[in-house]
Structure 1
Amino acid sequence: MHFNPYSHTGFQAAVICLTIAPAFLAAGIYLNLKHLVLIFGPQFSVLRPPSLYTWVFVASDVLSIACQAVGSGMAAKQDPKIMWDAVRIIKGGMAFQITTLGMFAGCAAWYFVRVVMHRRELNPGTKALRQRWMFRLFLGSMSLAYVAILTRCAFRMAEFDDGWRSKIMTNETFFIALDTV
């Protein structure tokens, strides 16, 4: 879109990238939770084996992206008769993605509450790793990334509240602050 900001193909490519990017980032967080469960101790985990964190939540994100893709495909036809149906399908996929993120946060919070409650029973083989400041910085960075992804997904949901020409969607400041960054 650098040479033609009104390019329909460029617009579609940008929408696709903005739609799927958070799912890849979230998948990384889901995968990291599995490894954190192994580091702290799988006995505190709600899901067993720990790889279920990755499988369940990535599969849910794939399903949400599929819904968003179907809606986007319908919207790409630019048929006014189906435009609101397309928006509803996109919003349904986004709502499912937000629900998935919420369920993930619940599982992660439950796990880490149990870790704190049983801190004397943590995996002794990973004590040195858990005490490193870089590891703690990683935990904070992962939490920040989660909040950013959730914020972006909630923003996208609000963007589509009034369809493709909503006030939020056409507000450049919101777009740059809440979607692009």
Structure 2
Amino acid sequence: MVVLFGITTALHIVQAAWSRLWWLFPTAVLAGVMELIGWSGRLWSSINPLAVNPYLMQIVATIIAPTPFIAANFVILGHIIKRLGSQYSRISAKWYTILFCSCDFIALIVQALGGAQAAGAGPNNLNLSIRGGHIMLGGIIFQLVAICTYATLALEFLLRYHHDRPFKRESYPPPKREGALDRGTKRMVFALFMMWIFIFIRRLIDSLTQELSDGWTGRIIKTERYFNVLDGAMIVLAMFTLNFFHPGLLLGKAHQWKDLEASLMDPLRKQEKQTSSQTSESLL
């Protein structure tokens, strides 16, 4: 796991620098670094099982690590919504990113607080460790609800786009879609779906097996092969999926993202100018 996370994190650093999509550093790269810390702690524990520091490293880092990676999915989908047409989305692409990244940040804070309490307790204070585990579990369940809501809204957006059924909003007339999905966007949507499956399995295992509520004595956390497959392997697969289906390759580099933003802003500015001129004429 240390080798695999090391490879995918190094690839994400290179790909983020190449595409100049700097938001990948506090998302995908940060997730990889935290997984590296967590699994290095597990490797250390395998050599020295009674050491406290590696125990603290693994219980905190491996739980929190998927959270920044999930934020990368939110950012990518927000860009796809802008690319295909915000008229097919129940909420705007801007609010989509703000809303779900905020939920992700809240989940991260809750998990960090629980992790800090569990880590401060150490292996000798079982009650405090269990309490910290419950707090972390609350953050995970909140995050699970957020990513399920995210998937539901994303599916609705794709179905509306496919059937060309935009929302009718009073502020702007809904434009018709232009052509079909290009190959790069199709592949990116497929990658988002696959990453969502891996992350969903990972978070579902955290919550439904009551791994944390059992005070670090749950079946998965005590059985190494289960923990390796259902915990580490799911995030490894998600991170390598983003390597192979990288947004810089499929959706373009940073300057192309900026060009899209500029092209979307121009019609809005024109409409704002028309509205302001009409208001001025009516006042005159």
User: Are 1:8 and 2:52 matched, yes or no?
Assistant: yes
User: In 2, are the aligned partners of 1:19 and 1:65 still within 8 Å (CA)?
Assistant: no
Instruction: Report the counterpart of residue 63 of structure 1 in structure 2.
Output: 106
Q: Does 1:121 pair with 2:172? A: no
Superimposed CA distance per residue, residues 35-77 of structure 1 (whole angstroms, 9 cap, x where no aligned partner): 11111111111112x1111111111111112111111111122
2:200 aligned residue: 150
Q: Which runs of 5+ in 1 are unaligned?
A: none
1:179 is aligned to: 231
1:118 Cα deviation from its structure 2 partner: 0.5
Task: Give the CA deviation at 1:162.
Answer: 1.8
Aligned with residue 182 of structure 2, among 116, 119, 131: 131
Q: Over alpha carbons, which structure has the higher Rg?
A: 2
Which aligned pairs between 1:26-105 and structure 2 lie closer than 5 A?
26-48=70-92, 50-76=93-119, 77-78=121-122, 79-105=125-151
Report the Cα distance in structure 2 between the residues aligned to 1:33 and 1:164, rounded to whole angstroms.
35
Q: 1:160 aligns with which of 198, 201, 212?
A: 212
Shift of 1:13: 2.3
Letter in 2 for 1:168: I
1:16 CA drift (Å): 3.0
Matching residue's letter, 2:87: Q
Is residue 46–residue 107 contact of structure 1 (8 Å, CA) maintained in 2?
A: yes
Gapped regions of structure 2 (runs ≥ 5): 1-40, 166-174, 234-284
Q: State the Cα distance separating 1:103 from its structure 2 match.
A: 1.1
Compute the TM-score of the two structures, normalised by the length of structure 1.
0.86
Q: Identity rate of aligned residues, in percent?
A: 23
Name the SS for the 1:84 alignment partner: helix
The AA in structure 2 aligned to 1:16 is V
What is the count of residue pairs matched by the alignment?
Answer: 175
Quickly say closer, same or farther: Cα 1:118–1:58, change in 2 above 3 A: same
- Tell me, what secondary structure is at the counterpart of 2:221? coil
Q: TM-score, normalised by structure 2?
A: 0.57
* Matched AA of 1:101: I
Q: Deviations over 1:62-106 (max 9, x none)?
A: 111211111111112233343332222111111101011111111
Alignment RMSD, CA only?
2.1
Query: How far apart are 1:168 and its partner, in Å?
Result: 1.8
Give the conservation status (yes or no) of the 8 Å contact 2:126–2:215.
Answer: no
1:162 is paired with a residue whose SS is: coil
Match of 2:61 among 17, 29, 40: 17
The corresponding residue for 1:110 is 156
Q: Structure 2 counterpart of 1:136, which letter?
A: K
